[in-house]
Amino acid sequence: MITQRQIPEFVSRKKPFQGSNIYGQFEMSRYGISGMELFVVYSYGQHWPLLVSPLYTGPSAPYWEAQWIVNKDKYSCTTTRHLTVVTNWLYAAEHSYVDSVLKSGAFPKFTDKRWSPSIVELAKVEHVQRWVADWESEYRKYVEWKASANADYMAG
């Protein structure tokens, strides 16, 4: 079991962890797509996801894999504290990155190593759960399209 001070490091690196009534784990694809996983941080149980992020699946991964989905729904004082612990580093990284872009005046490409993760805040826990389901569906369509496009290209 890790302490609350250690949680941001585990979350930022998308490493599974177990804390006091908070944990992060990988969720495997329901569609059986190899390499497709989500990193999800839960407060008290799988009924309350706090933070969700798709994992990187390769050099040609789609742009939306950089997102962090944040559950802004309120449940209890402890869950609110858990949310603060897991998102403080995320908002600090976003703020620092935006400042560096504004100072440089150059908009980065998605391949820029300094690219900050985009944050999507959803107001209700049901919306977070729906996002997970929709993302998997969209990812499946993306993989099928890519396979079809590669087959057409190879066929000449």
User: For residue range 140-154, what is the model confidence (pLDDT) as tens digits?
Assistant: 777 788 788 888 888
> Is 14 inside any structural domain?
yes
Distance CA 91, CA 75 (A): 21
Residues 109-142: tens digit of each pLDDT: 444 444 445 777 888 888 887 777 777 777 677 7
The answer to whether residue 132 sits within a structural domain is: yes
The DSSP result for 67-134, as a single string, is -EEEE-----HHHHHHHHHHHHHHHHHHHHHHHHHHHH--PPPTT-TTPPPPEEEESSHHHHHHHHHH
2 within domain boundaries: no
As a whole number, mean pLDDT of residues 28-42 equals: 73
Q: Higher confidence at residue 88 or residue 59?
A: 88
Which pLDDT belongs to residue 1? 93
59 or 15, which is more confident: 15
**Global model pTM greater than 0.85:** no
Q: Is residue 118 part of a domain?
A: yes
Residue 65's pLDDT is 53
Residue 1 lies in a domain: no
SS3 assignment, position 42:
strand
Q: Which domain holds residue 79?
A: 7-155
Predicted confidence band of residue 20 (pLDDT cuts 50, 70, 90): very high
The residue-averaged pLDDT of 81-104 equals 71
The more confidently predicted of residues 135 and 45 is 45
Residue 19 lies in a domain: yes
How many structural domains comprise the chain? 1
Please compute the mean of the pLDDT values over residues 21-46 and round it to a whole number: 81
Distance separating alpha carbons of residues 22 and 19, to the nearest angstrom: 5
| Domain presence at residue 104 | yes
Residues 1, 84: Cα–Cα separation, whole Å:
19
